[in-house]
Amino acid sequence: MKVPGSAQDWIHWIEVGGGAGWVRRAAVLLALLLLSVLAVYKQYHGPADEQTLLQADVGRQLAAGRGFTTLVNYPQTAAVMQRRQGRALDRAEPYPELHHAPLYSITIAAGLRCLPAPWREALFAAPGAPADAFKADFFLVALNVIFLWVAAWQSFLLARRLFDERVAWVAMFALLLSVGVWDRVLLVDGLPLLMMLSLGAFHLMAALDTPGEGEGTGESLTVGGLVLWGALGGVCGLLFLAEYSAGLLGAVAAAFAYWRLRGNDRWMAVAALTLGFAFPALPWMVRNVALTGDPVGLAAQNLALKAGDSTAEPAIQRTLFSSEAPALDLNKIGNKGLTGLQLNVKERLWSGGGYFLAAFFVVGWLYPFRRASTNRLRWACTAGWLLLILAQPFLGSGESPRLPVFYLLPLILIFGAGFFFVLVESTPTTRGHAGLATALLLALQASPLAHDLLQPR
């Protein structure tokens, strides 16, 4: 890039040269920064649930070099460890963490380790007055906001790859201007981390959906293709470590491999997927089996538990000095799953930030896009969305706020925006006013967020 010399060169570079693009990028980044600061200032009230605080505590223990331990010592953990080790645990020592997937705690620990030691200590200093906020809370919100920025950029790149730049801008801004998204981000529960990982998985599927990679063209799967399939398995393994039920996206990736490939290439890709999944996930599962006998530790009991049910309350189960797992009740599991499924379909899909674009996504199932690869990825996205939304209410206890209907939202926005432009281009009248229609759509998307941000703090 040629560096401008005189003031006239600078003006020309900014107005008609390559600088115009950089000015637009700088304006977008500045607007994003101001929006983030305003949203945090007006709406952030600290961590909203016990699960987030527990994982943040594990992250602090990791950053201090104390391993996957927690300062919250549950009687159930003590009973399980006493049965496994044949001795009682010292109540003065931190207990091993057995209830949660570890990735969010790992990212918190990594963020803390990136800070200078004096800053890290200052985060956990007691507030000077009742009105002062706990500084570590703002570290969590900064981490989640950064994850959201990355997810927005990933949404732009994936939408541009599948459609065009117009769809990419709409999908990105729809994500950043959604009040439902900011509500989830400001819960600081790590949901944007799952957004990043799920988008990463579909980026890899899009990269793998190319002619010549064993797609019945007479060519064999290449070494580069195997590496990408292994990377896709690795991302699914990270999803499993972020939220155990999210690891089911690995099954969708395996089905995608079976669909797109032929002959031995199918099984080579599935083997690469499996190895990739095992690389991050297997050490954690081995550790849990050694401590509890189950690959997901005491999180396995969530199948039999249901938050809000006094006969199967997870919080009560953790306070019992008992190593016995709760009994499975098929009627209770079915009721729990169907209730959660009803909430997902009737309320959360439409209130989670998708709004009009969620409707465009659903209606768009009836329309084939021009690119065959875009259609295939849409059906892969739909399969993952349906599988996770169907399975998560049955597998979880209802305590986790990290739900697939929220962390798969960027994909819904991408395909919803794609179908929106199909409708805009369908008639000469709307085609001539595409900019106005886009501005109106984004204004409607942003109006609930604007309402919240205009209110007093």
Q: Are 56 and 112 in contact (CB under 8 A)?
A: no
Q: What pLDDT does residue 217 have? A: 41
The residue count of the chain comes to 457
Long-range contacts of the stretch 269-272 (C-beta < 8 A, 24+) = 269/214, 269/221, 269/225, 269/226, 269/229, 272/226, 272/227, 272/229, 272/230, 272/233
Residue 429, C-beta contacts closer than 8 angstroms, at least 6 positions apart:
none
What tokens were used for 312?
Answer: 């199967």
What is the chain's pLDDT, residue by residue, as a tens digit (457 residues)? Answer: 455 556 666 565 566 666 666 777 787 788 888 888 888 888 888 787 888 889 999 999 999 999 999 998 899 998 998 888 887 777 778 889 999 999 999 999 999 999 888 888 888 877 655 455 678 888 999 999 999 999 999 999 999 999 999 999 999 999 999 998 998 899 999 999 999 999 999 999 999 986 544 444 444 688 888 999 999 999 999 999 999 999 999 999 999 999 888 888 999 999 999 999 999 999 999 999 999 999 999 999 998 888 888 888 888 888 888 888 888 888 888 888 888 888 887 777 777 777 788 888 988 888 899 888 999 999 999 999 999 999 999 998 888 888 899 999 999 999 999 999 999 988 888 888 888 999 999 999 889 888 888 888 7
DSSP element (H, E) containing 55:
helix 50-63
Residue 308, C-beta contacts closer than 8 angstroms, at least 6 positions apart:
398
Q: Are 282 and 265 in contact (CB under 8 A)?
A: no
d(CA 279, CA 253): 16
pTM: 0.91
Q: What pLDDT does residue 212 have? A: 44
φ, ψ at 307 (rounded to 5°): -65, 135
d(CA 457, CA 450): 13
Q: Classify residue 178 by burial, with Cβ atoms within 10 Å: 0-12, 13-18, 19+.
A: buried
